[in-house]
Structure formats: structure tokens, C-alpha cells
Amino acid sequence: MQNKIEEISALIKACGAFIKEADRSCLQIDEKAGHANFVTEYDKKVEKRLKDGLLQIIPEAKFIGEEGEGVRFSEKGMYFIVDPIDGTTNFIKDYHNSCISVALITDGEATLAFVYNPYLDELFTAQKGMGAYCNGTQIHVSRQPLENGVVLFGTSPYHEELNEASFQMAYDYFKKALDIRRSGSAALDLCSVAAGRAELYFELCLSPWDHAAGGLIVKEAGGIVTDIDGNPVRYDMPCSVLARNQ
């Protein structure tokens, strides 16, 4: 498995360099369903490159990517669940806070996770039962209580019906914690909780490719990941996500 982890890491880093060096002079941007939901030529090209590369490394796995279609998740077997660019709006705005997110789900459980931020050259990785790492150094969630904590949240931007509830919840946490942040990348928010840079993250509706990798990284860093009602997160459909230290 170690060889495969190294091959996957190298593939993801190469794709990250491609994102970082994107030719932004005539970026082709299309709209998808939902409010302000965009896809660029880079989301599509990176997904294709990841699909080809990952299926060469683990040919028995199936591939589910945000920009692809056709493959349905099942509790049996191996699935790559991939977001080629998490933080597409940030990417369009040249905001330098986007990442590649790759999870391997085996018989319904996340077993490998990679989240790569090419702007900081930070590769977060986790293997089930083996801890979580950032660039090879083990990471842990913080021990700070909420009142000394920073709370991250996502606005579920593509689901307008959740806007009010999201901001109400953010306001409630703002009153209880030191402050709140909204970064524009769910996967990087999860890694921030894993690395002890923030204490809690929530979002009321995420797709599996947004949280599958980051969720395993939080758990392997000693944190807790559920939906907002305390149930396990899902890989077969969207769900809410609440990640926190102990």
C-alpha cells in the first residue's frame, strides 16, 4: 500500500501544479445547477487526469468525481471519491485557497485520504487506523474548548433554502467561540480542524467529494465527524457535516 500512496501523492501533486500554473487569461467557465455554481475547464481536465492516473494505480476501484457522471456508490467494493478542485469560486477569483480532494472508500468506509493545497504546497494524508499527516508530519486536533476556538463554516452556497439556517448557526457559534471563518473550501476547512488550526467546522449540505477525504483526515487526527444530528456522514448522497475536536 505504501507504494500506491506514494504514487497517488505524486499524481495529486502534479495535478496541483497544473492548477497553480493555470492560464487564467481566458478561463472557460460554465454554470451548473444551483446558485453561483461554476465549473471551469481546469476542473474537468484535472478530473480526467486524476481518473486516468488513479485507475492505473488501483484498477479494481471505481471512480466517482464531481464533474463526471454514471457511477453510483455502493457499500461493497472500492471507490475513489474525488473533487478535482474544491474551492472552484476561489480558483476563479485567484483567491489561492483551493485544493484537490481524493478519498478511497472500501466497503463503505473511508480508508485513504489525500487533500492537497498547491498554493501552500501542503499535502494532508490519512490511512485508516494510521493517523493523519501534513507533508509527512503527524497532525492532531486541538485541545481548546469552543470558547477559545475558531469555528469554520460553509454557506451551502448552491442551496439557497439553507442560507438562513446556515447563517443563524454561524451566528450562534460566533457568540460561543472566539470568531468564525468562511474559507470557500470544505476539504481545506476539515484539514484545518485536523491540524488544530480551528476547533469546529460545519456545513448544512455537502456532497461526498467535499467531505470524504477531509473527514477521514479529521478522524485520524483524533477528531469527530458526523452530520449535524450526530449520525454518520454518507457517501451515497449529500448530507450535513459537523467536524470537531473532542
Residues engaged in binding ligand IPD (CB under 6 A): 83, 86-89, 154-157, 184-186, 203, 206, 210
Residue 237 C-alpha cell reads as 448522497
E runs forming strands in 128-185:
132-134, 137-139, 150-153, 179-181
Least distance from C-beta 76 to Ca ion, angstroms?
Answer: 25
Please tell me the distance from the alpha carbon of residue 124 to that of residue 139, in angstroms, as a whole number: 9
Name the region of 74 (left: φ>0; alpha: ψ -120 to 50; beta: rest).
beta
E runs forming strands in 196-245:
200-206, 224-226, 239-244
| One-letter amino acid of 45 | K
In the list ligand IPD, Ca ion, none, the entry touching 87 (Cβ below 5 to 8 angstroms by class) is ligand IPD
Identify which of 23, 25, 28, 106 has the alpha carbon closest to the alpha carbon of residue 62: 106
Please identify the residue of the shown chain whose CB is closest to the bound ligand IPD. Answer: 154
Least distance from C-beta 205 to ligand IPD, angstroms?
Answer: 7
In the list ligand IPD, Ca ion, none, the entry touching 154 (Cβ below 5 to 8 angstroms by class) is ligand IPD
For residue 5, give Cα distances in angstroms to 1, 77, 97, 109, 126: 6, 19, 24, 17, 10
Q: Determine the interface stretch with Ca ion among 26-34, 47-55, 210-218, 225-233 (rule: CB under 5 A).
A: 210-218
Site string for Ca ion, 122-151 (x = CB under 5 A): ------------------------------
Cβ proximity to ligand IPD: between 64 and 127 the closer is 64
- 210 touching Ca ion, by CB under 5 A: yes
- 66 touching Ca ion, by CB under 5 A: yes
In the list Ca ion, ligand IPD, none, the entry touching 156 (Cβ below 5 to 8 angstroms by class) is ligand IPD
Residue 23 C-alpha cell reads as 492560464
Cβ proximity to Ca ion: between 3 and 33 the closer is 33
Please tell me the distance from the alpha carbon of residue 27 to that of residue 19, in angstroms, as a whole number: 12
Helix axes 41-57, 2-20, angle to 10 degrees: 160
Q: Determine the interface stretch with Ca ion among 84-92, 139-147, 172-180, 233-241 (rule: CB under 5 A).
A: 84-92
Cβ proximity to ligand IPD: between 127 and 150 the closer is 150
